[in-house]
Amino acid sequence: MLISLYTPGNSPVHRTPAGLKIVLLFIFCTLLFLLQSWWFLAGAIAAVLAAYLLAKLSLTLAWQAMRPALWVLVLIFLVQLWLNDWQFGLYVVLRFAIMIVAATLLTLTSKTSEMIEGIERSVGKVFGADVAEKVGLAFSLSLRFIPMVRETYQEVREAQKARGLGRNWRALITPTMIRTLKSADDIAQAIDARSAGAPLAKDERHHD
Amino acid sequence: MTTRDIVLIALFAAIMAVLGVFPPITLPVIAVPITAQSLGVMLAGGVLGAKRGALSMVLFLALVAVGLPLLSGGRGGIGVFFGASGGFLLGWIVAAFVVGLLVERFWESLNYINAFIASVVGGIVVLYALGIPWISVVAGISLGQAFTGSMGFIPGDVVKAVIAALVIVTVAKSYPIIKK
């Protein structure tokens, strides 16, 4: 059900650690905003497209990444055309587009599981192993909860459809929420019961 | 932070994901389709309270950032944070916190009206105060122009605040989470 956007491969881009790619991406985007120059922008576009080819990814993937933002880009161009001139409009739109394409490269070449592990590790370094453990639990639980909530939502939707409320947000959300909140409490109790002796929490609360 | 807090935070991140596949509604006057996901931001704060609500948004955005296509329309990955709505996405964390803070304050006398106020202040005023400067920077336009451009979404967000208020009060009555 949950399909990650990762595209498998074994290129140097794929093998670079996700954490390093994130740092590089932030440096890249900051420089794009600090250095307002056509030469730098042109170099940046060439570098990102070269990285796509190096990762053996088709450039249509870069295009697909931009497509949802296309109307915003057109709008920005028109506003710039009206405020300034077409050259500056083109500059802003290209800068915008290349940031999205560069960020998509990171997503396409980094495994979701590796990135979650990376987050846990970084959290562990900054806040300690105790917090990292909680973050790990939160990640795994949320991934498990998505199909559970979806199932509950579909049951509720079937029932509300029969009442003619299939598109009524309130009638769909309230029962879904109350039912899943109840399940969440049961799950919390089960986790506490199983990890008795190694409590995650300092203040153990009693749940009714 | 108890195990229950973690479970609730994870649950709301999952609820956000499911709201992303809700059927969008279209208001008759404006053409902008309204998606249910930003309604989840108001609900996270209003149902879980400030701290857990904000953390559930952090978790949801982390799931999006690591490449899961959970935003409405199947969008995901780091790229979405660099788009025009990046400020709004990060603003969800603060928005959920503010809605939660206000609902906690109103808790003893929570009703549809103050739940609506909480949703509007956190989910609209605070959210736009963060989202609009972002648009202004990435699009190279002035704050005023970014503000005008965002106005089309306000009617839909008011509708969401009404629905959020109804759900927050109903859940507070039948299955209270903030204070038991």
Predicted pLDDT of residue B170: 95
Predicted pLDDT of residue B1: 84
Q: Domain B3-174: which CATH class?
A: mainly alpha
Let me know if residue A42 belongs to a domain: yes
The reply to whether residue A68 touches residue B23, judged by beta carbons under 8 angstroms, is: no
In chain A, the number of structural domains is 2
Residues β-bridged to residue B75: B71
Let me know if residue A63 belongs to a domain: yes
Predicted confidence (pLDDT) at residue A200 exceeds the cutoff of 60: no
Predicted confidence (pLDDT) at residue A202 exceeds the cutoff of 70: no
Q: What angle do CA A34, A37, A42 make, to 5 degrees?
A: 110
Residues B69, B76 contacting (CB under 8 angstroms)? yes
Predicted pLDDT of residue B102: 97
Whether A66 and A140 share a structural domain: no
Predicted pLDDT of residue A198: 57
Q: What is the token pair recorded at A141?
A: 């639980």
Predicted pLDDT of residue B83: 77
Judged by DSSP in three states, B72 sits in coil
Predicted confidence (pLDDT) at residue A51 exceeds the cutoff of 90: yes
The reply to whether residue B8 touches residue A181, judged by beta carbons under 8 angstroms, is: yes
Identify the domain boundary among A77, A110, A143. Answer: A110
Predicted pLDDT of residue A139: 93
Predicted pLDDT of residue A199: 52
Let me know if residue A202 belongs to a domain: no
Residues β-bridged to residue B26: B33
> How far apart are the C-alpha atoms of B46 and A204, rounded to whole Å?
24
Count the residues in chain A: 208
- Residue B105 near chain A (CB below 8 Å): no
Let me know if residue A149 belongs to a domain: yes
Predicted pLDDT of residue B101: 97
Q: How confident is the model at residue A39 (pLDDT cuts 50, 70, 90)?
A: very high
Q: Of A6-20, A188-202, B47-61, where does mean pLDDT reach its minimum?
A: A188-202
Let me know if residue A129 belongs to a domain: yes
Residue A128 CA from chain centroid, whole number? 24
The reply to whether residue B83 touches residue A72, judged by beta carbons under 8 angstroms, is: yes
Whether A81 and A124 share a structural domain: no
Query: What are the extents of the domains in chain B?
Result: 3-174
| Eight-state DSSP code of residue B32 | P
Q: Which residues of A touch B138 (CB under 8 A)?
A: 96
To the nearest whole Å, the CA of A12 is away from the closest chain B CA by 19
Q: What is the token pair recorded at B20?
A: 């992303």
E strands of A60-123, at which residues?
Answer: none
| Eight-state DSSP code of residue B71 | B
> How far apart are the C-alpha atoms of B5 and B56, rounded to whole Å?
10
Per-residue pLDDT tens, chain B, 180 aa: give them. Answer: 889 999 999 999 999 999 988 777 766 655 556 778 989 999 999 999 999 999 999 999 999 988 888 988 778 888 888 877 889 999 999 999 999 999 999 999 999 999 999 999 999 999 999 999 998 888 888 899 888 888 888 888 999 999 999 999 999 999 999 875
Identify the domain boundary among A76, A92, A110. Answer: A110
The reply to whether residue B3 touches residue A200, judged by beta carbons under 8 angstroms, is: yes
Q: How confident is the model at residue A1 (pLDDT cuts 50, 70, 90)?
A: very low
Nearest to B55 by CA among B66, B41, B68, B65: B41
Chosen for mutation from B5, B18, B52 (greatest number of chain A CBs closer than 10 Å) is B18
Predicted pLDDT of residue B158: 93
- Residue B62 near chain A (CB below 8 Å): yes
State the ipTM, two decimals.
0.90
Whether A20 and A96 share a structural domain: yes
> How far apart are the C-alpha atoms of A8 and A136, rounded to whole Å?
24
Give the DSSP letter string of B144-169: HHHHHHHGGGHHHHHHHHHHHHHHHH
Whether A69 and A132 share a structural domain: no
Let me know if residue A200 belongs to a domain: no
Let me know if residue A208 belongs to a domain: no
Residues B14, A146 contacting (CB under 8 angstroms)? yes
Predicted pLDDT of residue B76: 83
Whether A124 and A99 share a structural domain: no
Q: Count of CB atoms within 10 A of residue B66's CB?
A: 26
Q: What is the mean pLDDT of residues A111-128?
A: 88
Chosen for mutation from A25, A107, A113, A191 (greatest number of chain B CBs closer than 10 Å) is A107
Domain of residue A96: give its range: 12-110
Q: Which residues of A touch B164 (CB under 8 A)?
A: none
Most confident range, picked from A97-106, A165-174, B50-59: B50-59
Query: Which spans in chain B are helix H?
Result: 3-19, 37-48, 50-65, 86-106, 112-120, 127-139, 143-150, 154-174
Predicted confidence (pLDDT) at residue A159 exceeds the cutoff of 90: yes
Name which of A5, A79, A180 is nearest B69 (Cβ-Cβ). Answer: A5
- Residue B93 near chain A (CB below 8 Å): no
Let me know if residue A2 belongs to a domain: no
| Torsion angles phi and psi, residue B71, rounded to 5 | -75, 155
Identify the domain boundary among A55, A84, A110. Answer: A110
The reply to whether residue B36 touches residue A169, judged by beta carbons under 8 angstroms, is: yes
